[in-house]
Amino acid sequence: MTENENQISLTRVAPITSGCAKNQIQFSCGVAWLLLATALPLVAAPAIDPIPAATVPAGKSLIVPITASSTNGRPLTFTITSSTDAIAAVPHTNNPFWKLSVVQAAAANAPGAFSTPFRGGTVTVTNLGDLTFMLFPEYAPHAVSVFQGLSASGFYNSNTIFHRVIAGFMNQGGDPLTNGTGGLVFTYDDEFNPQAIFSGNGQLALANSGPDTDGSQFFVTVAPYRGGDFVYTIFGQLLRGFNVLSNINNTATDTNSRPLAEVIITQAGFVPDTSDTVLTLVATNRAGVVGTIKVIADDGAAGRATNTFTATTVTDTNSNSQPFLYGNTVTNLVAPVNVTLTNFINAVELDGYPLYWFPEFADQTSYDAGTNSSYNISNSVLQTLTYDVTNAQGQIQLMMKPATNYVGPVSIYVIVSSSSQWNLYQEYDLSLPPYDQQEYTFVFGDTPIMAQPASLAPQTSAPFTNLLLATFTNGVAGSAVTNSSAAINWGDDSITAGIITTNLAGLKEVLGSHAYTNSGDYPVYITIQSALGVTATVSNTLTVAPMLQAIRAGTNNVIVWPAWAFAYQLQCSTNLADPNWLAVTNVSALTGFQNAVSSPVPATKAFFRLKK
């Protein structure tokens, strides 16, 4: 490098406080660059890609991806209307987006071949491309939060593959063991919503090994899969990368449906997407209704685009008669001795079949303690956007009556089926008819735990100790800390025990120690349990703040930061102590898994930071 060339150095000048990261950019020859606010160009109007005509199963729904482009880089706002009340158009707004980058193992002399890290070594691959999904926290909030944490931690990056590919059906991946048997250190429950069924294409769902065994594995459909309705949790929809999805699905496989050449996920992460959206069409239970769906994209600067497509309801011949527990908040879980706990639990089967209930005690102790319990059955009604679904015997009133003076837990499985003989199939170990189940634990002779999450300041990637995560009380003054325990799920596939102390106000505190390897927003779940089995879980988000980097690109300096932190505002100042930093309004571009802003204007010195 000659004396006249600019060498950029990025110096961290202050620790992260209150969600800010500050960085200084200085050139060795005394020249620096300052990002200046520039007006967004007012050029061509946005454009919405063609939307094919849609057929919606009568009484059901269809998830429809909408892609568009904004020539001036402005974010698009969508307005969606239907010409008929019999087909409701439900937009999904402010949803997160998840992107996977995918490569495939190849010979060293293959066109475009390159080397990439994989499971501690390297492998020669060719690029397949990216898959970008919209995720649905309104349908599956827990699943979305789990994938947020796993993605932030790098769980999938160059460590997982699409290990199972079935042509015309789906592509499955996300197993850390790469063979379909692996997962997380924890499992979590299914999440079903009446508007989320497998009637479309490119639907992202959780793989499982039975009810409520969800983990890190997922699959993406390449065609409707109605047998999976309310059996697998749908938590996203593919928006971009249908060609990549198809190429994976067409790859050669062995007799176990494993691709002969590994299909590797090199990176997974949350990214910004300001030009695409997803809508769900919810149809009446009458076939033959035709409606026009209008989609308007607005860039906020007088730029508008309109597109329309036809939606037609058709007779649903693919129902799997699958019931699911829905809309339940079982709150009466704890009572004094000799007090009966009563709860109402609802189930839905979208074709209106009668439902049948089969409560089962989870163990002998629960059976002995709860044998005086009883239940009543009544109808349930689900009000959809276009019609009402009534299920005869769709609601159970469960009355848990403990044995006299019994103290302790009673666990029960609440099972609902569309078959009146489900229990016989279970008794003779036959393939079970459609059903859903949920385990509930009721505790007698104890008091409820009331917990609150603590306010969490952003952390660095350095280890932290004794961080206050939650406070709680069991309503008993002076209760010993040894009467309770706490488990902390840190969101990065790790669980540790929490330390419980008592503060000056008499509240119990849960403290935790951990270290994250990557920046990101991590969902943290704190589960508190009494000695008798009363539990309370609170959730929080712990942020490991993003770092800014400066990259030389030709004659320009480019500021980059992780894509997941797109909601942060880039600010600049010529004085580090200045309380009034300027917002940088240059349009950031998504480059891989980074937000990037170019800075072509010279100045003497510039400081940059991210502020949320």
Q: Tell me, yes or no, whether 70 and 21 share the same domain.
A: no
Report helix, strand or coil for 392.
strand
Asked if residue 1 is part of any domain, the answer here is no
Same domain? For 202 and 133 the reply is: yes
- What CATH number corresponds to the domain at position 395? 2.60.40
For residues 160 and 248, is the Cβ–Cβ distance under 8 A?
A: no
Specify whether 555 is located in the same domain as 583.
Answer: yes
114 and 257 fall within a common domain: yes
Residue 241 and residue 315 in one domain:
yes
User: 206 and 87, same structural domain?
Assistant: yes
In a domain, 12, yes or no: yes
- Rounded Cα distance between 385 and 378, Å, is 23
403 and 516 share a domain? no
Q: What is the pTM of this model?
A: 0.92
Mean pLDDT for each 10-residue chunk of the chain (612 residues)?
32 37 37 38 81 98 97 93 97 97 98 97 98 98 98 98 98 98 97 97 98 98 98 98 98 98 98 97 97 97 96 95 91 97 96 96 97 96 92 97 98 97 97 96 97 95 96 94 97 98 96 97 98 97 94 82 94 88 86 85 69 88
Q: For residue 115, what is the domain's CATH number?
A: 2.40.100.10
Q: In what order do the strands lie in the sheet with 582-583?
A: 8-17, 20-27, 606-611, 569-573, 582-583
Residue 147: which H helix or E strand, with range? helix 141-153
Q: Nearest to residue 197, comparing CAs of 349, 389, 366?
A: 349
Residue 36 lies in a domain: no
Of 509, 544, 579, which closes a domain?
A: 544
Task: Verify that 336 and 198 share a domain, yes or no.
Answer: no
As a whole number of angstroms, the distance between CA 493 and CA 163 comes to: 20
What pLDDT was estimated at residue 605? Answer: 63
CA neighbor of 607 nearest in space, from 563, 552, 550: 550
Residue 401 lies in domain:
324-444
Residue 79 included in any domain: yes
What pLDDT, on a 0 to 100 scale, did the predictor assign at position 552? 78
Q: What is the pLDDT of residue 612?
A: 86
Q: Based on the domain organization, do 288 and 338 belong to the same domain? A: no
Same domain, 588 and 504: no
**What is the model's pLDDT at position 60?**
97
- Confirm whether 2 is domain-assigned: no
DSSP state letters, 72-118? T-PPPEEEEEES-TTEEEEEE-S--EEEEEEEEE--TTSTT-EEEEE
Residue 572: closest CA among 22, 32, 67, 49: 22
Residue 371, in any domain of the structure? yes
Q: The tokens of 459 are what?
A: 């952390």
CA–CA separation, 312 and 299 (whole Å): 30
- Residue 220's Cβ-side half-sphere holds a number of Cα atoms within 13 Å equal to 27
What's residue 19's pLDDT?
42
Same domain, residue pair 206 and 310? yes
The reply to whether 183 falls in a domain is yes
The whole-number pLDDT of residue 506 equals 94
Query: What's the confidence (pLDDT) of residue 23?
Result: 44
pLDDT at 587: 79
Q: How many domains does the chain have?
A: 4
**Shared-domain flag, residues 503 and 551:** no
